[in-house]
A and B are shown apart, each in its own frame.
Chain A
Amino acid sequence: MSRPSVTDVMEGKGVRNAGPYLAGARASVPFALATLVLGISFGVLARSLGWGIVAPIVFSVVAFSGSAQFAVAAVLGAGGGAVAAILAAVLLNARFGPMGVAVAPYLRGGPFRRALEGQAVVDASWALASRGGGRFDREFMIGATVPQGVAWIVGTAIGAVGGDFIGDPMRLGLDVIFPAFFLALLAEELRGGRRAVAVALIAAALALALVPFAPPGVPVIAACAAALVGLRRS
């Protein structure tokens, strides 16, 4: 194997073949832009709660978890305690459990490396890397997570520093980017057959039914039970 030339590296043909990672990164750019705006939104919110500038940025670096961080802000902002805030965040992030199980067969190395690669699981990357029928593209997923991570942290910083000058960017309609995108991916999954359609309908019904009664995050987790349809022999 010869060493890659500079142009090879530039074009993504590194020793480890960076191509699939770059493809994932490119595919995630629109979502990184939405994540940037969400990050700004989180920074503005944190600022309005008197968290200062450092804490929200550190939070975004170490937790890198939009929905959980918004939940913590909501609970603490409403006067709740640390335990309630942590619990809300854990419930919201519990969905990464089943997502991690789904990608697990495609990750590499020993337990430590797998644990590390599992950190790349975020909603949009996981969904972008789904190849249908339970298959996942590991390199694509990791590549897709990088721009979103950078965007989330940079966005948080912009919001926390800019604060009141920015206002609420959610008015731009960017919050529907994620459900609209998940809908598009769901449509792909549904081509997998009647079973997938049945599972999606059961999951949607379960989630909707639980929204009024369960804390945020729980409906999505409970909806995973719909996948148990797979236990029946086809």
Chain B
Amino acid sequence: MTTLWIAIAAVALASATIKAAGPVLVGGRELPPRAVSVIALLAPALLAALVVTETFGEDRHLVLDERAVGVAVAAVALALRAPVLLAVALAAVTTALVRAFV
């Protein structure tokens, strides 16, 4: 039980520190243009990485499962210019149906 409480305290502290680091270090100062363009590209980089790891990753394995079907349906819906929330809902419903019946 002590192990658990040590982990809880340490993770809370580490998490807060990581989140504070960028805002405190970068602050409100003017950054050089090249740094600004790198920072601007962090969003597509992080989003792309989150999409693929949350769709195909499981522990240290790449898997093709119900999640991929759901996300693929969302991709098609988005390509057909469906609203974001509709695309997301279709992904969830598809994944649940595939899990239940396939």
A115 contacts the other chain (CB 8 A): yes
Task: Look across to chain B and name the residue whose beta carbon is closest to the beta carbon of A187.
Answer: B78
State the Cβ distance, A158 to closest chain B Cβ, in Å: 19
**A82-B3, A171-B100, A204-B52 are contacts. A227–B45 as well, Cβ < 8 Å?**
yes
State the Cβ distance, B56 to closest chain A Cβ, in Å: 7
State the Cβ distance, A33 to closest chain B Cβ, in Å: 10
State the Cβ distance, A142 to closest chain B Cβ, in Å: 12
Please tell me which one of the listed residues A68, A186, A234 contacts residue B37 in the complex, with CB atoms under 8 A apart: A234
Quick one: which of B3, B40, B41 has the most chain A CB within 10 A?
Answer: B41
B16 contacts the other chain (CB 8 A): yes
Bitwise interface map of B from 45 to 88 toward A, beta carbon under 8 Å scored 1, else 0: 11111111111110111100011001100110010000011011
State the Cβ distance, A212 to closest chain B Cβ, in Å: 6
Q: Chain A: interface residue count, which band?
A: 35 or more
A86: B residues at CB distance < 8 A: 6-7, 10-11, 14
**A59-B8, A201-B48, A211-B61 are contacts. A180–B74 as well, Cβ < 8 Å?**
yes
Bitwise interface map of A from 171 to 213 toward B, beta carbon under 8 Å scored 1, else 0: 1111111111111111101101001110111111011100111
Q: How far is the CA of A51 from the CA of B75 in the complex (A)?
A: 39
B21: A residues at CB distance < 8 A: 97, 100, 118
State the Cβ distance, A129 to closest chain B Cβ, in Å: 10
Q: How far is the CA of A157 from the CA of B33 in the complex (A)?
A: 46
A212: B residues at CB distance < 8 A: 60-62
Quick one: which of A58, A81, A132, A175 has the most chain B CB within 10 A?
Answer: A175
B20: A residues at CB distance < 8 A: 100, 114-116, 118-119
State the Cβ distance, B61 to closest chain A Cβ, in Å: 7
How many residues belonging to B are interface residues under a CB distance threshold of 8 Å?
A: 73
**A100-B20, A114-B20 are contacts. A180–B88 as well, Cβ < 8 Å?**
yes
Q: Are B47 and A90 in contact (CB under 8 A)?
A: no
Q: Are B11 and A171 in contact (CB under 8 A)?
A: no
A101: B residues at CB distance < 8 A: 22, 25-26, 39, 42
A41 contacts the other chain (CB 8 A): no
B5: A residues at CB distance < 8 A: 55
Q: Are A186 and B40 in contact (CB under 8 A)?
A: no
A76 contacts the other chain (CB 8 A): yes
Please tell me which one of the listed residues A100, A171, A204, A230 contacts residue B18 in the complex, with CB atoms under 8 A apart: A100
